[in-house]
Structure 1
């Protein structure tokens, strides 16, 4: 029978661990007998008692929990890549530590994997959360679907089940400042998506701040779309045409004796508008240049402080 590795990134999840671990263990009963389980918890430089909670959970379930401690906070996606690098399963799943994604859905995902699908996506058909978070999520995924990757499912996703081959491909790429889940789709493997309703967070407080959401949006667009650069080119061309027409208009007034427009107001509007466009264009180009520099330096995506291996592997 194959081995399933479940990767769980953790960041300030001290209060979640005592609930998450038993929930994942209880879900094992829904899988076929003989399947091996491995839970790879990656602490992303938490500043609370997350590591201590993970060590207590590992002491209680020493046969199936692996704890990867990172030296510092490197972001959820880099932490997941670290977990993928240390996972040993034939198939793998990624799930959040706050249990907003239903672990029982992994059983259906596993069935699709057994049928030959190398990537199974749990896409959020809806979510119990309300407010600006929901609006941002819907806007984010609409932009990605229409401007970057047209073959991604509606509703967004960060709950996936995938084959060892997909895992090896992603770990080998070591792509920085990107979107890990969209990268899996970009690889081109056939996938199946399972819609579900994302639960409301019951324990703890989300550390997914607006600043991080905006960075993810920028990273995702620049990683999978040339739209920002193309938009600059189109706008620049449009401004050039407008400038040419306006210049011809001014020259025509000069030669045909018309009243020339007032200079100061017109000049300042044009200068400020063009200057603003230039600054935006330089900012977008700078984002691309920075990502190229970051990749060229080849600094590690994460630094591992310690890995606590399970004592032995459990077969259900």
Structure 2
């Protein structure tokens, strides 16, 4: 009897929880009767009534619902890894608590898993969101596909169905400042992607701020690509060639007397340009160095404050 573990990260989702849980329970009826379910709701340090709502669901369905309360907000990706730690299924699914991704798609994903695929991706073919949200999301995933991971599907994804072997590998890695979905793709398993249209959020307010989006972009690029460091080297080489050519020009102009050598303005422009490049380069190098330091500390990705039922370990 295959067991499906569904991991749902939650952050300020008190209004979504009853609706999301109800929809997930309804989706069970679409699966073959031999499939058993467990739901792992991870409260990512919410400060509203998210935990209270989750415990209501847990108390009404104690045989299949687990609730994990994290001590602080660590981000949805780390919360997902926390959920994996408590998952026991033969296969797993990750879905958001705001119902923007269709739970019924998991039935098709399960069918592919039964055929032997260890990873099934639900990729966003389109989204019912604002133009700016689409621009950022599409630009982010286009950039990642071009310079980091060539094998990811177009449109991006955060709705996946995967085998317990992938779950176990991710728990071994527990990488800081990374992207758990791209990590699955990076592993190299064959996968199939199922396109769908992501719905507009109807309940509650998104906490996915611009600051978090920028951090995700930086984390994902640095975790899966050496492009930023390589770009610094290439740019430095080009500047060196330009400086050499310009230096020859100055020497010729100086000693021939044919062309008057320009003074203060040209020097200031060169200094400002080169100084700016140096600061940007130091910033990029600093990001890599800081991530190395952060990894060497071996601090946990999350702290579990409490798990329900209380005998969970």
Is the Cα contact below 8 Å between 2:254 and 2:261 reproduced in 1?
no
Partner of 1:168: 168
Residue 291 of structure 1 corresponds to 291
Q: CA RMSD in A?
A: 1.0
Structure 2 counterpart of 1:81:
81
SS at match of 2:206: coil
Q: CA shift at 1:265, angstroms?
A: 0.2
Question: What are the Cα deviations for residues 254-288 of structure 1, in whole angstroms up to 9, with x where unaligned?
Answer: 12122333211011000000000000000000000
For residues 81-109 of structure 1, give each alpha carbon's deviation from its aligned partner in whole angstroms, at most 9, with x where no partner exists.
Answer: 00001111010000000000000000000
Partner Cα distance (2:217, 2:288) in 1: 14
Q: Shift of the alpha carbon at 1:310?
A: 9.2
Residue matched to 2:55: 55
Residue in structure 2 matched with residue 314 of structure 1 by the alignment: none
Structure 1 distance, partners of 2:13, 2:142, is: 30
Q: What residue in structure 2 maps to residue 155 of structure 1?
A: 155
Name the SS of the counterpart of 1:72 in structure 2. coil
User: Hey, what's the Cα distance between the residues in 1 that align with 2:136 and 2:182?
Assistant: 17
Q: Runs in 1 of length 4+ with deviation above 3 angstroms?
A: none
Q: Which residue of the partner structure matches residue 253 of structure 2?
A: 253
Quickly say closer, same or farther: Cα 1:100–1:132, change in 2 above 3 A.
Answer: same
Aligned-partner Cα distance in 2 for 1:258–1:228: 42
**Distance (whole Å) between structure 2 residues aligned to residue 23 and residue 75 of structure 1:** 24
Report the counterpart of residue 224 of structure 2 in structure 1: 224
**Counterpart of 1:39 in 2: which secondary structure?**
strand
Q: How does 1:119-268 map to 2 (within 5 A)?
A: 119-268=119-268
**How many angstroms apart in 2 are the aligned matches of 1:102 and 1:31?**
15
Unaligned runs of 5+ in 2: none
The answer on whether the counterparts of 2:124 and 2:157 sit within 8 Å (CA) in structure 1 is yes
Aligned residue runs from structure 1 range 10-49, under 5 A: 10-49=10-49
* TM-score, length-scaled by structure 2: 0.98
Secondary structure, counterpart of 2:192 in structure 1: strand
Q: Is the 8 A contact 1:93 1:162 kept in 2?
A: yes
Give the CA deviation at 1:60.
1.5
User: What SS does structure 2 have at the residue aligned with 1:154?
Assistant: coil
Quick check: 1:44–1:76 contact (8 Å CA) kept in 2? yes
Report SS of the residue matched to 1:124: strand
Deviations 1:197-247 (A, max 9, x none): 000000000000011001000000001111101111111101000000000
Match of 1:65 in 2: 65
Equivalence for 2:280: 280
